Structure 1
Amino acid sequence: MTNGASKMAAASAGCGWSVLKWATGTNFAIQLAGFSIANWFKTEKFFDLTGAMTNIVVPSMCFFMGRNNRSSRLLVCKIQYACVVLWAARLGSFLFYRVMKDDGDRRFDKIKKSTASFFAAWMVQGVWVSLISLPTCCMFLMQKNIPVRPAPAHILGWSMFAVGFLLEAVADQQKLSFNSNKENEKEFMRSGLWSLSRHPNYLGEVILWWGLYLSAVASTRCRFYRSSMLISPLFVTYLLGVFSLNMLERSSEKKYGSHPDYQSYKDTTRKLIPFLY
């Protein structure tokens, strides 16, 4: 590589890191602003909505600002960007509707009473946004020879995203419809997708982020970026498939443990992956 080419590559990488830093800073600035307002009014009603907004803002900055907007002109980047925006818009609007419908989120009943705990929740959300958007941002900012046309790995990744997205959306809607029926107030969800997995919405989320990781790594040959990007799907898998899932399992056991059919449901239906886990 000539000195000129080396300087251009270094300048390009530096530009990418600069945009990523700005996007990360913007993310946490929005979280801080959201916390300040939410803490003043002691409300959590727009917590998830802020998360969805920053999940659009961060990749958008990388998409439109990276490499003199080169990413915004490439088909593979356009599809990846559309996937992220579609997911964030769908989940954000769903969660906002649900929290307004329920007039709150019981997860925050104790948390919002403590300024420190409430602040920590918003900052954790900022970390979550930064980590899950990392592969997509790297795809927009740091690739050298991204293909003009999608490669088989891109197609596979986006197919996984589509499966995960539909799984999550359908599971959310089934649970929302179930909970909207007052006759089910003391019952637990065990029909539809929930008959195959006790947390099919979480399964869909895990699948779609592994899909977006796969389509992102298909756009670079750099082992450093590929290994760095891996933190995103691993983080989502642990957060949803272990940490949050176990919290919900304990909550369900406390609420439905005495239900005559709940233990049978647990014995015949896997926590996350049908027939496996």
Structure 2
Amino acid sequence: MAGKTLISIVGPTGIGKTNLAIRLAEHWGTEIVSADSRQFYKEMSIGTAVPSVSDLHRVKHHFIQHKSILDPYSVGDFERDALALLDVLFAKHRTVILVGGSGLYVDAVNKGLDVFPNIDPNIRNELNNVLSEYGLGPLQSRLQELDPEHYKKIDRENPHRLIRALEVCMGTGKPYSSFLGAKKEQRPFRAITLGIRADRVVVYTRIDQRVDQMMANGLLEEARSLEKHKGLNALQTVGYKELFSYFEGQCDLEFAVSEIKKNSRRFAKRQLTWFKKNEDTIWVDYDADIKAIISQVETRLKLEGYE
């Protein structure tokens, strides 16, 4: 794949990643690989802001609604499948676009995942039982005790991440953080990352507008159709879990919608924290001229010996 370039489009939720990805794909005459871990699921359309039918017709997309929420699908599975697909795409295109707000999934393709030993599945079952009965609190406290370094960095509101870190700590007797950062196999393509930025007020306003549009498009009905599966990891997602609370009578609809907006804003902050760790990212304004963005990418490629 020498001379091949993967351009990743990242940024907070609702900032316009899909639109930029499509415009860049049209410019280079290529295809788009989605790294949005919730857009993989065919049952979740409205709450995950799946690209519209017209957008999907403009440029060929991959990994959009190709799985069921009932199918186990990990970041490791995605890494394997995405790399296999890139082999095929780079046989046809010099440039491919990767887009998504799931930082771990973007990094899995660009850099590779850290390798962990096999863990006794009973440990995960035990931790899931603790989560079901007592909530996040005990898991957070346990991780702080076993791996204070990783505790400071992890998204402590994400039960999947907490349980994954804890099962490694408990199953190996070593901190989860001790397995991070090992040298990984170099990718056979050039990776460039474009990050979309905007003032906080702009990001939050766009999030609020997006949530309102989702509700108008039928998010309430979509969530109700999925309520019976609310225990699945795929549905531990902003936009669904708040409405499940409404269905259970824990709050009224107005409060649930306000919680979706609040939690989406929190999620956007966590996304930016993750993406800013990559010091090589080319940051562009959300309303930047497309020609200027293309020029920035081409300049970077020329500086690094790519034409």
TM-score by length of 1: 0.26
Q: Between Structure 1 and Structure 2, which shows a larger proportion of strand residues? A: 2
Q: Between Structure 1 and Structure 2, which shows a larger proportion of helix residues? A: 1
TM-score by length of 2: 0.24
